[in-house]
Amino acid sequence: KNQVEQSPQSLIILEGKNCTLQCNYTVSPFSNLRWYKQDTGRGPVSLTIMTFSENTKSNGRYTATLDADTKQSSLHITASQLSDSASYICVVSVNNAGNMLTFGGGTRLMVKP
């Protein structure tokens, strides 16, 4: 069964600190992995998309890593800001399947001043 597990479920950090969110998946065959940021009551917004051959990808203060061998990804947030408070959702795409996106349950991050 295709699954995406994220940890931790929730996280509280102080403004300015770094943090790392984890995503483990069992999806096969793998096509790509995406990280989305979802503010409360809003739709998800894409941060990164990584294919099988990509190990790391950055988007400003967000850096995603992918280890396709161990089927793990991480999202590292540097110098956190209050506006980083949101849910971060890991999404894995199955190769050549029309609709097949498997969503993780998300990590809820709260950045405190």
Partner 1 sequence: DTGVSQNPRHKITKRGQNVTFRCDPISEHNRLYWYRQTLGQGPEFLTYFQNEAQLEKSRLLSDRFSAERPKGSFSTLEIQRTEQGDSAMYLCASSLGGFSTGELFFGEGSRLTVL
Residue ranges in contact with partner 1 by CB under 8 A: 4, 31-32, 34, 36, 41-46, 49, 89, 91, 93-101, 103-106, 108
Residue 42 Cβ vs partner 1, minimum distance, rounded to whole Å: 6
Q: Kind of pairing, strands 56-59 and 86-94?
A: unpaired
Nearer residue to partner 1 within complex by CB, 70 or 99: 99
At residue 82, the 3 state secondary structure works out as: helix
Judged by beta carbon, residue 42 or residue 61, the one nearer partner 1 is 42
How far apart are CB 16 and partner 1 at their closest, in Å? 27
Residue (of 90, 75, 69) closest to 4 by Cα position:
90
Residue 24 sits at the vertex; the CA angle it makes with 28 and 69, to the nearest 5 degrees, is: 60
Q: Give least dist CB 76 to partner 1, A.
A: 20
Other CB atoms within a 10 A radius of the CB of residue 17 amount to 12
